[in-house]
Amino acid sequence: MKYGITENVKTIESKVKVRDIIKKIAEKKANAIKYYLEGEEFKQAIIFGAYLSGNYIANMIKPDCEEVILIDSQPHLEDIVTGNGIKFMDLNTFMLKLRNNNSKEINPDLIIDVTGLGGVDPNILKDFDPKVLIIEDPKSSFDKELMEADNTHKRLCVGQRKGSLKTLRSSKISKTSGTMTLTVDVIMDSCMDIKELDGVLYAVPNLEYFEGIVFHEKDVRKFLREVNTPALTVSCLGNLDTEIDEIIDINMNKIHSFVKPVQ
């Protein structure tokens, strides 16, 4: 806590950090997938999309897989991978291995695609025959242009069991199910809710264009430093530390993730 312009006004930063919200949302998605798989074991799992939830999903399913390969079109995203036993592969290397796959080095029985809008080409998936295929549905509300851009149904083209990973918010609206979209919405909505408390002058989100750091600057370490910041800052008269974090928690708990079986 710091004082504002006068000692009557306090400046309070949330104890909840941006990274905490990212982690909780990613874990909700990972747990939804884990629940859908019901403890089934796999020889080779391939996950398309390291950012942002792919790494969490890889770590969640790792105990039930002999091999987990995390694939991304951006080679520098190898820096986002944590945990032992997860193999990172950039998309170009993966495609090269597919063209020379006589030994069936690439033969997944579990495929998870969390690349979202403009992600994996459905033609890449058609050559596989996994036991389970899970595709993340990037939509979280009705938006005509997003509906037209979404090709989830085309990606759900193979697999003995197919599922669509859905992430929605109760009583709130987000445009997409993307982890960063939901993170921003949680923080922005929390600011609006906190402003309604008596004695609050204003609440500001501690946000910036994080994805620009990852994809334009290509600096994962800087991104990890920047999200290690309080989610929001509040100017108020009272000691509202507890209420501020409780409101953020309430908004995080409105996020629900599940895998819907697809015929």
Q: Note the pLDDT tens digit of each residue in 185-233.
A: 999 999 999 999 999 999 999 999 999 999 999 999 999 999 999 999 9
Tokens of 13: 């930063």
Enumerate long-range contacts of 209-212, CB under 8 Å, 24 or more apart. 210/18, 210/180, 211/180
Nearest residue to 75 (alpha-carbon basis) of 227, 220, 225: 220
What tokens appear for 97 in the block? 């291995």
Q: How far apart are CA 31 and CA 230, in angstroms?
A: 25
Q: For residue range 106-153, what is the model confidence (pLDDT) as tens digits?
A: 999 999 999 999 889 999 999 899 999 999 999 988 788 888 888 988
Nearest to 255 by CA among 142, 188, 171: 171
Question: Is 80 exceeded by the pLDDT of residue 4?
Answer: no
pTM tops 0.85: yes
* Residues in contact with 156: Cβ distance below 8 Å, sequence separation at least 6, in sequence order: 133, 135, 162, 164, 262
Write down the domain spans for the chain. 2-21+174-256, 28-171
Which tens digits make up the pLDDT trace of 157-196? 999 999 999 999 998 889 999 999 999 999 999 999 999 9
Confidence at residue 5, expressed as pLDDT on a 0 to 100 scale: 72
- CATH 3.50.50.60 assigned to domain 28-171? The reply is no
Residues facing residue 202 across a β-bridge: 235
* 230 three-class SS: strand
pLDDT at 83: 84
Structure confidence by residue, pLDDT tens digits, 59-110:
999 999 999 999 999 999 999 999 889 999 999 999 999 998 877 899 999 9
Angstrom CA distances, 2 to 103, 207, 237, 241, stand at 63, 20, 11, 12
Residue with tokens 């005509």: 144
- pLDDT in the model for residue 1: 67
- pLDDT, one tens digit per residue, over 10-51 is 999 999 999 999 999 999 999 999 999 998 999 999 999 999
**What is the DSSP annotation of 2-20?**
EE-SSTTSEEEE-SSBHHH
Judged on CB neighbours under 10 Å (0-12, 13-18, 19+), 100 is exposed
